[in-house]
């Protein structure tokens, strides 16, 4: 029996399990017209100077702050993150707007070069057109800001296919962008199905595709984009290793590792997930870590006393629990949590697994929720081996009082795109964000994202 095509997008509050709102899916004609309108807006925007673009981007940051309460509440209602973390996300996004507005014009300015045989050369970073972003639900505002602000600064137009469960957040962002002065249709939200999305990728007016999602989604979208000769940026999943060395400050390590595993309900691509601890401090770390994880009680994300909110969707909670059960069947041991809560809402407890080994989902795969994998290493060399023994390579962490040694390990031996020393972090506006291996390719932030989808053009005036 053929599966019926969806006619609407539905948002559901994961705290209550109740429906929030329905949004009709665009017709194929409406989606096509939306792309054409975005391209038309781009044709004007590309001629606007980078300094004038920067003014509007700075204004977007200001509007985000002014609408923080309403947008934070909507994000929490739609995907379940703690309300205070929704506000932190908006603060980060406003910071990205400010950094981009301040540094964008300089990053994108023309570069003059002397030609070897005489004459003058000019390198320009010219906008290419409409960029299509396919984004997930876990950071409803940040995921959008990360690619859209850099590309708007570069002079491109933006299409957004957001995750169904945060459709309201996507539409509110559109209002914020336009209230800040962004030309109408330059930032366009597409309320479309997966089948329609494939047609958007092939659309003649779409010049680039950026995805944040799972490696499976990355392979699929990269293949379809490649077939249409569209450049892509892929920010995919990970199972980041946080290494605790013999000379680590254990109190700090425990505090940061608990935060790194439970922040955003554990639903973060660059979260701390595997905790690789050297033998000499393993028992002490385990005892303190489990004790603190037990204190991370789940509850209503609007309640100030809650430490963890619900999983964003019921199916995500089921998948996470299956991964825990499969890991236990293959030898992992539950030190706390690991039981599906009863009652309304899609909650899952803070969980710690021990005796985690290759062949278990807890070792090999990404557990997208508040489940920590505890792994014992013989020494520093073994810890680094275990950390790199992964198909992923997005982020990671090292805890050591010898920060110079930790920096060297991070620089020369950690096979990831980002490493945090004695801390846990998500992103910094002035530092590159992205990974290697199955965690994807391409970079965002720090000026790098502004140049992912530009035409680096060589103009040469040769000496006659």
For residue 21, which of 32, 30, 34, 12 has the smallest C-alpha distance? 12
E-strand ranges in 97-199 read: 111-114, 119-127, 130-134, 157-161, 187-189
Q: Is 296 helix (H, G, I), strand (E, B) or coil?
A: coil
Pair 141, 93: CB distance under 8 Å = yes
Cα(92)–Cα(141) distance, rounded to whole angstroms? 10
Backbone torsion region of residue 119, taken as left when φ is above 0, otherwise alpha when ψ lies between -120 and 50, otherwise beta: left
Q: Is 50 helix (H, G, I), strand (E, B) or coil?
A: helix
**How many CB atoms lie under 10 A from the CB of residue 77?**
23
Q: Residue 269 catalytic?
A: yes
Q: Residue 235 catalytic?
A: yes
Cα(237)–Cα(269) distance, rounded to whole angstroms? 5
Cα(108)–Cα(289) distance, rounded to whole angstroms? 46
Q: Which of 89, 164, 235, 452 is catalytic?
A: 235
Pair 361, 326: CB distance under 8 Å = yes
What does each C-alpha distance from 246 to 27, 73, 144, 241, 254 come to in angstroms? 60, 43, 40, 16, 14
Q: Which of 267, 269, 354, 444 is catalytic?
A: 269
Mind telling me the catalytic residues? 235, 269
């Amino acid at each position: 029996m053929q599966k019926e095509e969806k006619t609407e997008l539905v948002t559901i509050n994961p705290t209550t399990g109740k429906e929030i709102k329905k949004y009709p899916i665009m017709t194929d004609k409406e989606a096509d017209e939306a792309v054409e309108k975005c391209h038309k807006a781009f044709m004007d925007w590309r001629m606007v100077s980078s300094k004038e673009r920067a003014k509007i981007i700075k204004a977007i940051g200001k509007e985000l702050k002014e609408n923080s309460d309403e947008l934070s509440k909507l994000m929490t209602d739609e995907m379940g993150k703690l309300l205070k973390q929704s506000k932190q996300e908006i603060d980060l996004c406003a910071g990205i707007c400010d950094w981009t507005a301040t540094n964008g014009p300089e990053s994108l300015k023309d570069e003059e070069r002397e030609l070897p045989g005489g004459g003058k050369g000019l390198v320009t970073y010219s906008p290419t057109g409409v960029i299509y972003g396919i984004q997930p639900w876990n950071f409803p505002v940040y995921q959008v800001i990360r690619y859209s602000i850099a590309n708007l600064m570069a002079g491109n137009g933006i299409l957004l296919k957001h995750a169904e469960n945060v459709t309201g957040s996507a539409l509110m962002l559109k209002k914020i962008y336009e209230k800040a002065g962004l030309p109408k249709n330059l930032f366009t939200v597409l309320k479309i199905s997966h089948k329609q999305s494939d047609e958007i990728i092939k659309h003649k007016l779409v010049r680039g595709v950026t995805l944040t999602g799972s490696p499976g989604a990355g392979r699929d979208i990269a293949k379809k984009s490649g077939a249409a000769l569209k450049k892509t940026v892929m920010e995919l999943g990970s199972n980041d290793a946080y290494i605790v060395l013999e000379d680590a400050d254990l109190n700090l390590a425990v505090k940061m590792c608990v935060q790194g595993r439970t922040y955003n309900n554990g639903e973060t691509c660059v979260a701390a997930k595997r905790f690789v601890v050297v033998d000499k401090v393993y028992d002490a770390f385990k005892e303190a870590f489990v004790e603190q994880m037990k204190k991370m009680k789940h509850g209503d994300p609007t309640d100030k006393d809650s430490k963890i909110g619900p999983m964003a969707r019921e199916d995500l909670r089921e998948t996470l629990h299956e991964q825990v059960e499969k890991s236990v069947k293959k030898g992992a041991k539950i030190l706390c949590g690991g039981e599906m809560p009863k009652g309304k809402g899609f909650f899952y407890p803070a969980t710690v697994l021990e005796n985690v080994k290759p062949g278990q989902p807890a070792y090999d795969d990404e557990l997208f929720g508040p489940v920590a994998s505890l792994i014992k290493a013989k020494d520093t060399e073994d810890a680094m081996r275990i950390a790199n023994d992964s198909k992923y390579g997005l982020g990671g962490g090292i805890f050591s009082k010898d920060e110079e040694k930790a920096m060297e390990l991070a620089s020369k031996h950690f096979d990831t795109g980002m490493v945090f020393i004695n801390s846990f972090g998500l992103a910094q506006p002035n530092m590159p964000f992205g990974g290697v291996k199955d965690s994807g390719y391409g970079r965002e932030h720090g000026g790098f994202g502004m140049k992912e989808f530009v035409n680096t053009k060589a103009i040469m005036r040769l000496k006659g």
